[in-house]
A and B are shown apart, each in its own frame.
Chain A
Amino acid sequence: MTGPAGRRDAEGRYDVPLTVAEPGADPARANGHRPAAAADEPDPAVTDEPVAAGSAHPAATEEPAGGAHAGREPAPPGPAVPDRPGDHWDRKVAAGLAFLRRRLSGDYEVDEFGFDPQLTEAVFHPVLRLLYRDWFRTEVTGIEHVPAEGAGLVVGNHSGAVALDALILSAALHDQHPAHRFLRLLGADLVFRMPVVSELARKSGGTVACNPDAERLLGGGELVGVFPEGFKGVGKLYSERYKLQRFGRGGFVSAALRTGTPIVPVAIVGGEEIYPMLADIKPLARLLKLPYFPVTPTFPWLGPLGMVPLPSKWLIEFCPPIPTAHLTDSADDPLVVFNLADQVRETIQQTLHKLLERRPDPFGP
């Protein structure tokens, strides 16, 4: 439902930087007419004719530069005008090439945590979208509980051997939320220890789960996602599914309290079945310096094929936010922190039970 619309929206937004002439100026402006045209196109989509003309012009102006055949060929721009689908593809190719050029010339912005919104929207989210919408058939409810602006701390249950649920949550939230907010995930330091993975985590908006980073993000009005169970949640056996593990030291609560940020508990059902973990080979895990080594019905027996997640049915429910603005002074009061952590934990656990009743068959439609 929101899929195609969301996608168009997204395209519209990462077209915006196109029109903003970067300080890099000259070369960008030399072929500036094309990005400008590409950026204009989504809007006049209502009035078809001017669009076609608009996209035909740049081609026409370039043709003379192209060479001798320019004179006898008004043809290349010709077919583009009457033929609508061709025009659409032309635009797509032009946008894709412009994106590639901007990436290759370093013409994009990265924030101080290493978050690259352009790359996230153009590359990571489309992949995750396929996964959460078509593979897991995810249904999201209670999205109205996620604040449209300002800081928010989204606290969820963790599951599924690899932390796929965090990525699915961030992509689904971005697509379904009316303000298309990015969820800034807090990850274990193991994530940032691994090459490639650490790079992807930072570029998609993640950072190390520590109080300075959490408070800095929340202080900057960002939406932060955290999974207080940590490895205890992802590394638990299938028989333990949907039983919330201990919530650690409640560092996430004190971060919320210090910044007066509302806590939005979220229950995620479906993540436990994607890699049903039958056993944990502890010696091997120690050898590889991992917190656990999962054995699932398919992994490691089928090798890389065993890494394909089973197509379970996913339900995500955001619960009403728990305000903390009135507790800002008690950030260092352990009792308040533990009570609040318990409250969040209870809310998630009960919502999990409710969602599980709504989904009798884990692999249903």
Chain B
Amino acid sequence: MTPGGTPGAPGVVVVTGVGRYLGAHVAARLAADPRIERVIGIDPPGSGAELTELLDRVERIQVDLGSLGGLLADLDVDAVVHLALVSAPDPQHGGRAAMKEQNVIGTMQLLAACQRASRLRKLVIRSSTAAYGASFRDPAVFTEETEPREVPRGGFGRDILDIEGYVRGFRRRRTDVTATVLRFAPFIGSTADTTLTRYFSQPLVPTVFGRDPRLQFLHFDDALEVLHRSIVEDHPGTYNVAGPGVLSLSQAIRRAGRVAVPVLEPGLSGAAALARTLGFGRIGLDQVDLFVHGRVVDTSRLEREYAFTPRSTATAFDDFIRAHHGGAVVTREQLAAAERLVLDGIRQVRSTVRERS
């Protein structure tokens, strides 16, 4: 509980979802920590090999979460980090049905296996700030105690609520396990590739007409840091993990030098649905709700318990802009030049008018 305290790091750590960007980076980082003896990465059979160079010190087991069974108990696992969540349906891999299978059923099966693992002391679950849902009556800032007022329309939000429900049940049954639930804000960073980073990389960015949601981002490196600390330190409970501060969507688009294209809300929902059925674009109802309501969380509990403050939302976004500068439509330099040009023009006109008179 004490910030920064390390009451013995776990010996054997299992990381799920190592076939994906976040999981691979977390596993690699844990493997590089000398306090941890063994890092075992789990991903479903047949997953891509693009991140293998990161995982040379990680033992990989290709197995479905469903056939995990007694594996965790046999491996004498001390800690489990569950990261294998899908945030948007991927039409090439089964769409929404596969997404729900992976998120909800996968988590259930993992928790069932965890319950049988007698040596298990620590469980870290990736969640999302989508757990707060989206409603017009929502408070402006969510603390960890805020209950969602409406069940989210988007699939990911609903999955997250289910997952957190199962974790609550697991906590009741295994009181000896330190369970940490991390509600992450959307990731952003120089290298991360997420739905949001793709969204902000377009030259013309669709927004919802008449809405300017407040957004928060989390720098990818800070997400790694928090996950790492959750494993080597003891932090039971639920934590909001986000960069302090707020950017409004219009402000973020302007900072990125993109052009906002306001779309009427029903139109955007329809367009999102159309894009989904046609098989391109991964903007779902989750994103539309986020762009109508915005989402800001209070991170004071994280800062207090972890003694760690993620870099601010604005700084994290700046890092992203620097990496994606090429696609900017309107740059600051151009704006400054235009300003100078207009000002000089006005000055010249006025001086000539004055000379004549």
**A-to-B contact residues, CB < 8 Å:** 23-24, 26-28, 30-31, 34, 59, 62-63, 66, 75-76, 78-80, 83, 86, 89-90, 93-94, 97-98, 100-101, 103-108, 110-114, 116, 189, 192-199, 202-203, 207-208, 210, 212-213, 216
Residue in A63, A112, A199 with the greatest tally of chain B CB atoms within 10 Å: A112
Residues of B within 8 A of A193 (CB): 136
> Which residues of chain B are within 8 angstroms of A111 by Cβ–Cβ distance?
246
B355 → chain A, closest Cβ, in Å?
7
A76 touches B210 (CB 8 A): no
Contacts of B294 in A (CB 8 A): 114
Q: Tell which of A86, A97, A105, A207 touches B254, judged by Cβ atoms closer than 8 Å.
A: A105
Please give me the residue from chain A that is nearest to B210 by CB atom. A195
- A70 to chain B: closest CB distance in Å? 11
Q: Are B354 and A79 in contact (CB under 8 A)?
A: yes
Given contacts A86-B350, A105-B332, contact A113 B140 (CB under 8 A): yes
Q: Which 3 A-B pairs have the closest CB atoms?
A: A195-B210, A106-B254, A27-B332
18 residue pairs bridging A and B, Cβ less than 8 Å apart: A23-B315, A26-B332, A30-B333, A31-B340, A59-B347, A78-B351, A86-B350, A93-B343, A98-B339, A104-B335, A105-B254, A106-B247, A114-B214, A116-B248, A195-B208, A195-B211, A210-B139, A212-B146
| Cβ-neighbour of A216 out of B138, B141, B245, B335 (below 8 A) | B141
Q: Is the CB of A195 within 8 A of B265?
A: yes
**Assembled-state Cα–Cα distance A75/B354 (Å):** 10
**Which of chain A's residues have a CB closer than 8 A to the CB of B254?**
103-106
Question: B255 an interface residue at 8 Å Cβ cutoff?
Answer: yes
Within 8 Å CB of A83, what residues of B?
A: 354
Tell me the complex Cα distance, A212–B147, Å.
Answer: 12
Given contacts A66-B344, A105-B332, contact A114 B339 (CB under 8 A): no
A257 smallest CB distance to B (angstroms): 19
- When A and B form their complex, what is the total count of cross-chain residue pairs whose Cβ atoms lie within 8 Å? 136
Q: Which of B211, B265, B336 meets A101, CB within 8 Å?
A: B336
Residue B209 interfacial (CB < 8 Å): yes
Residue of A nearest to B265 (CB): A195
Q: Which residues of A contact B354 (CB under 8 A)?
A: 79, 83, 86
Check B305 for interface membership: any CB of A closer than 8 A. Answer: no
The interface residues of chain B lying within 8 Å CB-to-CB of A101 are: 335-336, 338-339
Whether the pair A207, B265 counts as a contact (CB closer than 8 A) is no
Given contacts A80-B351, A97-B342, A197-B210, 14 further A-B contacts (CB under 8 A): A30-B333, A75-B351, A76-B347, A98-B339, A106-B253, A110-B246, A112-B140, A192-B137, A198-B136, A202-B212, A203-B212, A207-B139, A208-B137, A213-B140
Cα-based distance from A105 to B339 in the complex (angstroms) = 12
Chain B, Cβ-Cβ closest to A79: B354
State A202–B296 Cα separation when bound (angstroms). 13
Candidate in B137, B245, B318, B347 with the most chain A CB atoms within 10 angstroms:
B347
Footprint of A on B, CB under 8 Å?
136-141, 143, 146, 208-212, 214, 245-248, 250-255, 265, 294, 296, 314-315, 318, 330-333, 335-336, 338-340, 342-344, 346-348, 350-351, 354-355
Check B211–A198 contact: CB distance below 8 A: yes
Contacting pair B136 A30 (CB below 8 A): no
Which chain A residue lies CB-closest to B138? A208
Are B140 and A97 in contact, CB atoms less than 8 angstroms apart? Answer: no
Bound form: Cα–Cα A198–B338 in Å: 32
Chain A's closest residue to B315 (CB) is: A23
CB of A108, distance to nearest CB on chain B (Å): 7
Residues of A within 8 A of B342 (CB): 97
Which residues from A are CB-within-8-Å of B343?
34, 93-94, 97
Report A-chain residues with C-beta under 8 Å of the C-beta of B338: 101
User: CB distance A189 to B137 under 8 Å?
Assistant: yes
Question: B313 → chain A, closest Cβ, in Å?
Answer: 10
* Residues of chain A lying within 8 A (CB to CB) of residue B247: 106, 110
Known: A106-B252, A199-B212. A213 touches B339 (CB 8 A): no
Question: Which of B208, B245, B255 sits near A106, CB closer than 8 Å?
Answer: B255
| A62 to B337 alpha-carbon distance, docked (Å) | 11
Q: Are A213 and B340 in contact (CB under 8 A)?
A: no
Specify which chain B residues have a CB less than 8 angstroms from the CB of A113 in the assembled complex.
140-141, 214
A225: min CB distance to chain B, Å: 15
Q: Say how far A222's CB is from chain B's closest CB, in angstroms.
A: 12
**B348: nearest chain-A partner, CB-CB:** A76
